[in-house]
Structure 1
Amino acid sequence: MTIGILLAGIIVVACVFLNRATQKAGLPVLVAFIGLGLLFGTDGILGIYYEDYETVEKICTVALIFIIFYGGFGTNWKHAKPVVSKAILLSTLGVLFTALLTGLFCHYVLHFGLLESFLIGSVISSTDAASVFSILRSKRLGLKYNTDSLLEIESGSNDPTSYTLTILVLTMMTSGIQLQSTLQFIILQFAMGIFFGFIVAYGATYILKKIKLTADGFDLVFLVGIALVSYAVATYFNGNGYLSVYITGIILGNQKMANQKAFVHFFDGITGLMQMVIFFLLGFLATPSRIPDIFIPALLIMIFLTVVARPFATFLLLKPYGCKFKQLLLVSFAGLRGAASIVFAILATVRLNDLSIDLYHIVFFIVLLSILIQGTFLPKVSKWLDMTDKNIDVLKSFSDYSDEVDLRFIKVNLNSSHNWINQEIKNITLPPDTLIILILRNKEKIIPSGKTILREGDQLILSAYKYRGENQICLQEYIIEKGSEWIQKTIKDFSPKANELVIMIIRDSKTILPSGDTKIEEEDILVLYTNELVR
């Protein structure tokens, strides 16, 4: 147990450092995670033999839930709305056409069994949200004609279609082909997925807005639970859990809620961890010595996907919108395969023990090639096609963009002696670059105007720019211990050095902004500003 925890810690730390190394080398970081898994695996340096596909499938399913949830949560609907119809076509019919064409290629060219061919097509038919998000964000790749938003929504929303096709083919392989039950299955998958996605999302929104959770950070824990509930309840009623999770993510991510920025940063981190887990396990489960046996068919499938299937679906569905030729070429090239394909391949391997093809290693090699070739050259192809735009910040298409402003909020209490009392806001003098944005009066919230009159007892919320300068603000703590000479003395009597100032008192876990007459008590923590750096 201890050794397992130690190895897990080493792996995570190694992934973090590999992230930096691959960025400098210009390679997608996901390749590094796969490579690390190979080092630990059967044919690697450590040679750990592991083929528990069932356990890995469960782990990867949970990881994929968070990746898809964040795919929705991080999408800014306002910026994505102009391209949503195109993205939905690509994520539904585009996935279907890609799966069908790839299946026909595998059957008639590679001579695989018919259903096994369509199983391969279904498993690898979706583009990978983790890969696309990672490349667009790390390279700050802003693309013309809202192409970045199009790729983000398509890659974030097409996994449910691929999953439905995969389950459908697996059902046919075990129970036979029945047209009526097939149609019922597809309708139920999407209907229940959409229904529970909306129900869970709006239920969670109501709770977050109406009920104050007991402690800071519990709202983050609450959202983690909501993502799991959204998947589980839809799956329980034979719906598409991944579709439910994605819809829940979109709705919650575009609600006006407290701590929105913290939510996005939290899921940014947890999604990064989930990517590490999935791609490490992909390499860990793989046996490179088996690659020669599947090298040719996997390479041909990868080439067909990139050159024929994906471009055919893209041009067929997007050309009627009047999209420019170079945009269609870029969208065709950006069809990276990744996390979802891995999870669905493991799912199929667990459910079927008598496959005549090495499905897992075929998918492994396709994903590896896709990330290496498409992931590495996507920025270069974008520039070659003149599709990049330096004036476009790709983060604008994510919901945390609006929170990236350098504003901070300040609270001011109007006591009986304050000279702003009974004054109109337009007649008072505020510090430069500050603005009164809210007045709290008893239990009432007042949005102020210039004619608003301030009253005794009002709490004013002011906004001001966050300090960003070359000079560091250094804070030190001075603890008032029992018997200290400063107990019951006032702040104006406290004698710090000439280059120090008491800016805050922490008393019984409460924060006090001191004045000169504030009395110092035992166990107070005085927070001092100093312009001397402590080395």
Structure 2
Amino acid sequence: MGSLDTVSIAILLGAVLVMAGILSSLLALRFGAPLLLVFLVLGMLAGEAGPGGLKFDDLSTTYLVGSVALALILFDGGLRTRFSTIKAVLAPSMGLATVGVLLTALITAPVAYYALDLNWTEALLAGAVIASTDAAAVFLLVHSQGLRLRPRVGATLEVESGTNDPFAVFLTLMLVGLITRGESSTWYVVVEFLWEALLGTAIGVIGGRMVVMALNRVALPQGLHAPFVATAALVVFGAAQISHASGFLAVYLAGMIIGNQPTRAHNSVVAFLDAATWLAQIVMFVLLGLLVSPQRLMSSIGPAVVVALALMLVARPVAVFLCLAPFRFNWRERLFIAWVGLRGAVAIFLASIPMLVGLPKAYLYFDVAFVVVIISLLLQGWTLGPAARKLHVALQRTDRGPRRIELDLPGQLEKQLVGYPVRAKSLYLKRGLIPSWSKPTLVIRDERILTPEEAEPVAPGDYLYLLAPPEKAEALDRFFVDMPPSTAPDPHLLGDFIVPGETTLGDLAAAYGVNVPTGEEALTLADYFDIHLDRAPTVGAEVKLDTIVLVARSLGGGRVNVVGLRLPEDEDDAPPPTRVQKARRKLSKVWSQLSGV
């Protein structure tokens, strides 16, 4: 009976932990990644040195759970990554994910060599274990602190965090093999790396396409799509690992393939993976707490703090500045990317590998990873928001967004039903704006279902449902939040071919002789951007209007308030000189009227 009671207690404790993880997601948006430290402390309290007295030293289970957790985290990261995002930042992100990880390990190694009394190979292994950033921790913090990063900065961090883990795993395994087997040639390391990368890429791409095909062709019962995709991700990961390819690269690429293709139940899959990755992080931090020995940690905490500070203040910044030197990042963007190199579940997983194979001083790597994660989440985590605002790489979100409802429509993959509560100060209600790629379908008012025509005019408190492509659903959010106050553009920015965002299309047509779609003459240029962009406007965003291109030059209150005009370059298409001269006078008059000058 005693053994049965032990099993029952284990089930109870496990269920309580999972429930705590689910409920903690409500606090995650308020406290961010440091909330994960609560689960670290819970693990320590439940461990052998804490009141719980639970003796846990099962390294095989730790490695197994860590592999599954990291595979799901990477798959979720790939699922959310857009091909359009990668194209813009592929070169700098891949540089940070490979050369950056190697440089970080190399710069950290001398500090570990002297501080931890290791040989050079062991010191390099200590650097490799803590060299990669943690995507889940980075974006949990960004989201929880209400930050909206500049697109290029956010995309670089996103792609780097998702792709540097496979290289860090490869580097760690290579060094572990080198320590256990002895000398290894450079040629062997290069061939092994290419084999793992190329075969992992092939398995990931093929596996992702097969999952997309199965999702769209097999009639699964409602509710099984998300578990099927998560299980398929682990199948891709396992198939790559037993083929001696990079399973972590394969599962990340499989997620990218699935996330960028139209599939059934896309939103339920994303929501399921979001919850799974949150629980995976919690499990990893609890395991880290269980494995920590406070008595052993006291003997190495001083040198470990030195290594952690060297990593955050020297190794990571130097690697980032060197890798981004060939690209057009300003110093503020580089400094922010260097500071946001948070360490989390990945370091925990990598630190368990030396212990699993029984390397000398294996627990030293684990203790160093423990200290690095603690300091990273406390120091970098709680200063991320102030750093982003101080360095001007992010705008504070004025609204956390409306509560979006998404429903898949059986029988097709191109559209889904997206619903929003209509707010009194929303862009949709005040200006009547809606993107050209969406279609209002029904309105719910006082528990009655109405067509848009029957509900006209739509009133605050109504629920509006629209048809929209799944990949663009999030872009609808900005039409249903309360409009922030608009910021007036700087008159000194306005010239011959730069106009205020409140200029109407009719005025622009009169000035430049361009054709405006029928019925849109009263729209402002800011409205035109909102309607025709499939995402929130950013500086540099472009939309075409007849023969000219409108370029967003400045934003105010989340909307375009200064617009640049790119005129036709061909002489046959260009407006006559006399028309341009007239345009200058008319636009000057328009701006004077708008600014009250």
* Coarse TM-score class (shorter-chain normalised): 0.7 to 0.9
Q: CA deviation at 1:435?
A: 10
What is the match of residue 198 of structure 2? 191
The code of the aligned residue for 1:224 comes to A
- Once residues 346 and 5 of structure 1 are traced to their aligned partners in structure 2, the CA distance between those partners, rounded to angstroms, is 25
* TM-score of the aligned structures, taking structure 1 as reference length: 0.73
* Paired residue secondary structure (1:50): coil
- Once residues 279 and 257 of structure 2 are traced to their aligned partners in structure 1, the CA distance between those partners, rounded to angstroms, is 23
Q: 1:406 aligns with which of 391, 408, 419?
A: 419
Between 77-86 and 287-296, the greater mean CA deviation after superposition: 77-86
What is the match of residue 208 of structure 2? 201
Q: CA deviation at 1:197?
A: 0.7
Distance 1:297 1:230, change over 3 A: same
Pair 1:176-2:196 in alignment: no
What is the match of residue 288 of structure 1? 294
Q: CA RMSD in A?
A: 3.0
What is the match of residue 82 of structure 2? 76
Q: 2:56 aligns with which of 50, 58, 62?
A: 50
- Once residues 246 and 465 of structure 2 are traced to their aligned partners in structure 1, the CA distance between those partners, rounded to angstroms, is 48
Distance 1:100 1:273, change over 3 A: same
Q: 1:88 aligns with which of 91, 94, 103?
A: 94
The code of the aligned residue for 2:419 comes to D
Q: CA deviation at 1:305?
A: 0.6
Distance 1:59 1:110, change over 3 A: closer
- Once residues 325 and 404 of structure 1 are traced to their aligned partners in structure 2, the CA distance between those partners, rounded to angstroms, is 43
Structure 2: segments with no counterpart, 5+ residues: 1-6, 407-414, 421-438, 443-451, 459-463, 469-475, 481-597
Distance 1:21 1:289, change over 3 A: farther
Distance 1:363 1:437, change over 3 A: closer
Q: 2:158 aligns with which of 152, 158, 163?
A: 152
* Paired residue secondary structure (1:389): strand
Q: 2:141 aligns with which of 135, 143, 155?
A: 135
Q: CA deviation at 1:431?
A: 6.2
What is the match of residue 277 of structure 1? 283
Q: CA deviation at 1:176?
A: 1.9
Q: CA deviation at 1:21?
A: 5.4
- Once residues 69 and 181 of structure 1 are traced to their aligned partners in structure 2, the CA distance between those partners, rounded to angstroms, is 29
- Count of aligned pairs between the two proteins: 420
* TM-score of the aligned structures, taking structure 2 as reference length: 0.65
Q: Would the aligned equivalents of 1:342 and 1:363 in 2 still touch at CA under 8 Å? A: yes
CA deviation string 1:52-97 (max 9, x = no partner): 1121111111111101100111223334432222111111111111
Q: CA deviation at 1:125?
A: 0.8
Q: CA deviation at 1:243?
A: 0.4
What is the match of residue 62 of structure 1? 68
Q: CA deviation at 1:31?
A: 1.2
- Once residues 294 and 375 of structure 1 are traced to their aligned partners in structure 2, the CA distance between those partners, rounded to angstroms, is 24
The code of the aligned residue for 1:142 comes to R
- Once residues 106 and 25 of structure 2 are traced to their aligned partners in structure 1, the CA distance between those partners, rounded to angstroms, is 36
- Once residues 436 and 369 of structure 1 are traced to their aligned partners in structure 2, the CA distance between those partners, rounded to angstroms, is 46
Q: 1:314 aligns with which of 315, 320, 323?
A: 320
Q: CA deviation at 1:352?
A: 2.3
What is the match of residue 17 of structure 2? 11
Q: CA deviation at 1:391?
A: 6.3
Between 140-149 and 386-395, the greater mean CA deviation after superposition: 386-395
Q: Percent identity?
A: 31
Q: 1:233 aligns with which of 223, 232, 239?
A: 239
- Once residues 399 and 158 of structure 2 are traced to their aligned partners in structure 1, the CA distance between those partners, rounded to angstroms, is 14
What is the match of residue 227 of structure 2? 221
Distance 1:429 1:371, change over 3 A: closer
Q: CA deviation at 1:224?
A: 1.5
Q: Would the aligned equivalents of 1:104 and 1:117 in 2 still touch at CA under 8 Å? A: yes
Q: 1:352 aligns with which of 337, 355, 358?
A: 358
CA deviation string 1:309-358 (max 9, x = no partner): 11111000112212111111110110111111111111221012433762
The code of the aligned residue for 1:182 comes to V
Distance 1:79 1:436, change over 3 A: closer
The code of the aligned residue for 2:211 comes to A
- Once residues 26 and 240 of structure 1 are traced to their aligned partners in structure 2, the CA distance between those partners, rounded to angstroms, is 30
* Paired residue secondary structure (1:406): strand
- Once residues 317 and 216 of structure 1 are traced to their aligned partners in structure 2, the CA distance between those partners, rounded to angstroms, is 47
- Once residues 321 and 436 of structure 1 are traced to their aligned partners in structure 2, the CA distance between those partners, rounded to angstroms, is 41
Pair 1:381-2:387 in alignment: yes
Distance 1:13 1:205, change over 3 A: closer
Distance 1:18 1:220, change over 3 A: closer
* Paired residue secondary structure (1:142): strand
Distance 1:168 1:27, change over 3 A: closer
Q: Would the aligned equivalents of 1:213 and 1:219 in 2 still touch at CA under 8 Å? A: no
Distance 1:368 1:176, change over 3 A: same
- Once residues 33 and 15 of structure 2 are traced to their aligned partners in structure 1, the CA distance between those partners, rounded to angstroms, is 24
Larger of the two Rg values belongs to structure: 1
- Once residues 294 and 437 of structure 1 are traced to their aligned partners in structure 2, the CA distance between those partners, rounded to angstroms, is 59
Distance 1:357 1:207, change over 3 A: closer
Q: CA deviation at 1:10?
A: 1.8
Between 180-189 and 231-240, the greater mean CA deviation after superposition: 180-189
What is the match of residue 573 of structure 2? none
- Once residues 145 and 253 of structure 1 are traced to their aligned partners in structure 2, the CA distance between those partners, rounded to angstroms, is 19
Distance 1:27 1:222, change over 3 A: closer
The code of the aligned residue for 2:34 comes to P
Q: CA deviation at 1:110?
A: 4.4
What is the match of residue 327 of structure 1? 333
Q: Would the aligned equivalents of 2:418 and 2:465 in 1 still touch at CA under 8 Å? A: no
* Paired residue secondary structure (1:44): coil
Q: Would the aligned equivalents of 2:355 and 2:362 in 1 still touch at CA under 8 Å? A: no
Q: Would the aligned equivalents of 1:19 and 1:32 in 2 still touch at CA under 8 Å? A: no
The code of the aligned residue for 1:314 comes to V
Q: Would the aligned equivalents of 1:142 and 1:394 in 2 still touch at CA under 8 Å? A: no
Between 57-66 and 37-46, the greater mean CA deviation after superposition: 37-46
* Paired residue secondary structure (2:57): coil
Structure 1: segments with no counterpart, 5+ residues: 412-427, 439-463, 469-535
- Once residues 11 and 53 of structure 2 are traced to their aligned partners in structure 1, the CA distance between those partners, rounded to angstroms, is 18
- Once residues 333 and 79 of structure 1 are traced to their aligned partners in structure 2, the CA distance between those partners, rounded to angstroms, is 22
Distance 1:379 1:174, change over 3 A: same
Between 44-53 and 71-80, the greater mean CA deviation after superposition: 71-80
- Once residues 255 and 27 of structure 1 are traced to their aligned partners in structure 2, the CA distance between those partners, rounded to angstroms, is 31
Q: CA deviation at 1:111?
A: 3.5
- Once residues 466 and 15 of structure 2 are traced to their aligned partners in structure 1, the CA distance between those partners, rounded to angstroms, is 48
Q: CA deviation at 1:429?
A: 7.2
Q: CA deviation at 1:404?
A: 9.7
* Paired residue secondary structure (1:320): coil
The code of the aligned residue for 2:266 comes to Q
Q: CA deviation at 1:232?
A: 1.0
- Once residues 211 and 63 of structure 2 are traced to their aligned partners in structure 1, the CA distance between those partners, rounded to angstroms, is 28
What are the equivalent positions in structure 2 for 1:468-487 lying under 5 Å apart?
none
